Amino acid sequence: MQKYFVIGDPIAQSKSPVMQNANFRDKGIEAELMATRIFEEELEFWVASFRKNGSGACVTIPHKVSIMQYLDEVDSFASEVGAVNTIVNQNGKLIGFNTDGPGFIQGLEEFDLSNRKILIIGAGGAARGIYYGFLHKGLSDITIANRTVVKGYAICPNVLTLEEAEERLSQFGLIVNTTPIGMFPDMEACPISLQNLTKETIVCDIIYNPFKTKFLKEAESRGAVIQNGLPMFVNQGALQFEYWTGQKADRKVMEEAVLEQLK
């Protein structure tokens, strides 16, 4: 039985085990993905154990950047992003990838994003992946809003405070929340005020639990088109599965497994 892991802190809310294990079963692969809570100070020890016993891993908040120092190789996109959310173990050699950006972009294929100014809220690992995903898609009119401005400048030359972003919200045609604010169980929280939102704006939240965050409910009530984190979650997970196994993932099987759990 091959062992796969999703590591983070917190981790109880993750639906990666449900989604990936459904895919393993569908493909007839004898493997299991397990959720493991890892504190920052435990990361090096966990990597040493994983090197001997694990086949692959998903990496989530807050380890996407700090995990890189313990890997043997990081692919060019993940290196450019400066964050890893996927590890492949090739006979003890650990290789890092980033599927956040490509997964998010795949989830937006139904929308015409040309001539839209983009606002990314947050400056963590997911924000990095999504920012570089947009750049690779040829979209460069991007601004980051973050509580700590200096973290935003480490990713993007255009940075606003959260208060400045709230004031200028009407300028943006696509807004993406990449922070965990509003995630279960703190579901009444909102990353920014949407008072100045226009109804022509597309508003995305990479959170999928709850299925519709307070942030998205507010945007929808103001007439905006909304998208939750499920398309990104399924697409980035499918890409992870393909890195691990070399087989094509069944996105429908994965999505149905997550939706069943969220019910």
212 is catalytic: no
CA distance 257 to 243: 20
**The pair of three-digit structure tokens given for residue 217, joined into one six-digit string:** 């409910």
Q: How far apart are CA 173 and CA 55, in angstroms?
A: 41
Catalytic: which of 15, 27, 52, 64? 64
- 18, 257 contact by CB (below 8 A): yes
β-pairing, 56-59 vs 31-37, is unpaired
Helix pair 230-245, 16-27: axis angle to 10 deg: 50
Residue 193, Cβ neighbours under 10 Å: how many? Answer: 14
- Sheet containing 202-205: order of strands: 159-160, 142-145, 118-121, 174-177, 202-205, 225-227
Burial state string for 101-135 with b = 16 or more CB within 10 A and e = fewer than 16: bbbbbbbbeeeebeebbbbbbbbbbbbbbbbbbbe
Catalogue the active-site residues: 64
